[in-house]
Copies of this chain bind each other. A is one copy, B any other.
């Protein structure tokens, strides 16, 4: 319900920026906001197609491109060979990906803040850490 309301708000903002609010775009926005996880373009396409079967995957990519440009969506490469997308409003966090079982654990941002600080001080580099993917082995698989 909240997701739908949000997507309506985004829709309005959309129109005010001079973009057309098509059913395809609405469905893509809804799919993004209803997903808990980070989803791929194909995932979005599948969800959209459930309601509106002839929507083409290229429309999904073009809409994601647009949303990315507007800063409404973050694109992440979680190492699976395909990009994943996530509403920017849902905040920053990071992913620990287990190389053995494939599960991903989301972590808070805090463990990464000191790293960010160090990189800034020692290298003058302002890290843009919004979604970092780190590979390794999770607690269960290490037992």
**What residues of chain A have their CB less than 8 Å away from a CB belonging to chain B?**
77, 79, 96, 98-99, 105, 107, 111-112, 114-115, 118-119, 122-129, 132, 134-139, 142
Q: With A135-B127, A137-B125 as given contacts, are A111 and B105 in contact (CB-CB < 8 Å)?
A: no
Cβ-defined contact, B126 with A122, below 8 A: no
- What's the least CB distance linking A16 to chain B, in Å? 28
Q: A125: which of B105, B114, B118, B119 is its contact (CB, 8 Å)?
A: B105
Provide the bound-state CA to CA distance between A79 and B133, in Å: 12
Q: A128: which of B119, B132, B136 is its contact (CB, 8 Å)?
A: B136
A-B complex: 4 closest residue pairs judged by Cβ atoms: A124-B139, A127-B136, A111-B118, A128-B136
Cβ-defined contact, A111 with B119, below 8 A: yes
Cβ-defined contact, B124 with A128, below 8 A: no
Provide the bound-state CA to CA distance between A111 and B111, in Å: 12
